[in-house]
Structure 1
Amino acid sequence: MSTVATSLLNQPREVERLVAGQPTSDGAGVKLNRVLTNQLQRRLDPFLMLDHFGTDNPDDYIAGFPDHPHRGFETITYMLNGRMRHRDSAGNEGLISDGGVQWMTTGRGVIHSETPEQNEGRMAGFQLWLNLPGKAKMCEPWYRDITAPEVPEFEHNGVKVRVIAGASHGVAGAVQRDATEPLYLDLHFAPGARFEQLLPPEFNAFAYVYEGGLKFESGCLVPTGRMAILANTPGSDGVRLQAGEQPTRALLIAGKPLGEPIAQYGPFVMNTEAELVQAVRDFQSGRFA
């Protein structure tokens, strides 16, 4: 773990609005908070969904996510606590545990399951959906397990930074994507610590606080369980985040918008309604991997 110098911003972004998310359940009744919903997909292009799950009650997670299909996007599961087994129709299998990441490109179609490998204790983490460009939606499925030690980390003025995707202060993340250039950081703040990240002004970006709280120079406070959508201010060069008076943990996520039509039917995300109809037909005909 190394220490890097502070990056200086000329015009940091401010908060456009705060989002609380919607309590819901998915899979076989797993309880979660859907932070990035369908209504925000165009505003936060290329990101389609962000779910936050976290509970000490096994009844909230034990049934997991039985076999279900996907086509046309990528899923990124980041496990804070617990153990989850992945199996899919392309022959991939893996186990993610504390601090690990599962990155899956569903491409032309895959059927997979996610099953908890624990009967007690805490299960917590996130699942992010990242869109694929139209030309890549029918690519071959791809899968990678990234263990906690494989996620690059560095220290930045009282902030531990885990770089899941993209790059921060010269440290490359575990995964890179050319089309959407996603940045996915997990930030662990000491009380009052400040973190700055350069961002192209056209990138859509948000911060989600899952412990403690963040504050912005405008006076905006972002408490636990809230997502701050960051304004795309012309001429802005990045974001400055500062923890409040308690230790804080937050995700900073940003990406290059695709600017393409979004047509979604549950686990299928394509560009047109006709492509959705074909996806359903292909799934029903057993043509997924």
Structure 2
Amino acid sequence: MKTRSLQQIIPSIATSDGGGVKLRRSVGQNQSLRVDPFLMLDEFSSDNADDYIAGFPSHPHRGFETVTYMLDGHMLHEDHLGNQGDLKSGGAQWMTAGRGIIHSEMPQQESGRMRGFQLWLNLLANEKMKPARYQDIQPDEIPSMALPNGGEIKVIAGSAEINGNTIYGPIQGLNTQPLFLDVRLPAHSHFSQPIAEAHSAFVYPYEGKIEIGAVDQLRKLESHMAGVLSNGERIEIRNTDQPVAFLLLAGRPLREPIVQYGPFVMNTREEIDQALSDYRNGQLV
């Protein structure tokens, strides 16, 4: 079974979005740094309310999916259709913007830690104009399992194989076949996981640093960097004398043209122009 190696490193950069929320962006910091079908990964993490209190006021999307995964904190999601959903520590929201949605994500706390991720995931051309939908995932709906070395794995999307057992996350059945794992390891540990050979994949350590690849070709990946993986059927990850936590993301590449203008992701410039016109005329959805 061919082991994937670390092919490219994308250091995250400090930036801000929404009302001025401070965050770090790796995948998607420019349009050449995507990992098809993944368009963007943002990490937000602060104990200072000034860094997040302005939140993400009302804004539009069309043509892709957004995934918000909260490690710590509480945000309220609302949209122009009257939908509401709480995003709390350990929970997630999988939103398919489809033909259009105008929504906000605003902090429900004035102090304390706010930490999590937002992932953008592309849609097939023939899915970009389908109706918007949500899946609000409560913390107890995300399966977790203890690893033999004392670590833990959480499965948000796809499935993981642990000790001969397969654990299925709450997100299944999408055309991109996403895998979204949150893994924690104690010091001096090893983690191995199969990944569909034809799927794109990357790793994002958010606590500590890791080593990726077969024993004879290990490469280090520091915290807050996205490590894009080569083709292969399995990933091998090791760490040294410090505990680590990382995201593992994989999905079926769409191999379709991408034209992006801010919060709109379509296949042609004409479709972007139509999205802008629809938004201006109140016809986005």
Q: TM-score range by the shorter chain?
A: over 0.9
User: CA offsets, 1:84-120, max 9 Å, x none?
Assistant: 0000123210111111001110000000001000000
* Distance apart, 1:35 and its partner CA: 1.0
* Aligned residue in 1 for 2:81: 90
CA distance in 1, matches of 2:142, 2:196: 24
Q: Distance in 2 between matches of 1:42 and 1:183?
A: 19
Q: What does 1:13-32 correspond to in 2, within 5 Å?
A: 13-32=4-23
Partner of 1:165: 157
Map of 1:272 onto structure 2? 268
Deviation larger for 193-202 or 119-128: 193-202
Aligned to 1:51: 42
Matched, 1:230 2:229: yes
Candidates 209, 214, 218, aligned match of 2:210: 214
Count of aligned residue pairs for this structure pair = 277
Offset at 1:200? 2.0
Gaps spanning 5+ residues in structure 2: where? none
Give the Cα separation in 2 of the matches to 1:192 and 1:242: 7
Question: What stretches of structure 1 of length at least 5 have no aligned partner?
Answer: 1-9
Moved more, 266-275 or 40-49: 40-49
Q: CA RMSD in A?
A: 1.3
Q: CA deviation at 1:193?
A: 1.8
Work out which of the residue numbers 195, 202, 210 in structure 2 matches 1:199: 195
Residue type at the aligned position of 1:267 = P
Change (3 A) 1:265 1:200: same
Identity, % of aligned positions: 46
SS at match of 1:281: helix
Runs of 4+ off more than 3 Å: 38-43
Paired with 2:31 and 2:92, the residues of 1 have a C-alpha distance of 24
1:13-66 Cα distance to aligned partner (Å, 9 max, x none): 110122211111000110000111254667510000000000111000000011
TM-score by length of structure 2 reads 0.94
State the secondary structure of the residue aligned to 1:275: helix
Q: 2-side partners of 1:40 and 1:16: how far apart?
A: 18
Deviates more, 1:199-208 or 1:216-225: 216-225
Q: Is the 8 A contact 1:203 1:257 kept in 2?
A: yes
For residue 62 of structure 1, the aligned residue among 53, 71, 77 is 53
Shift of 1:201: 2.0
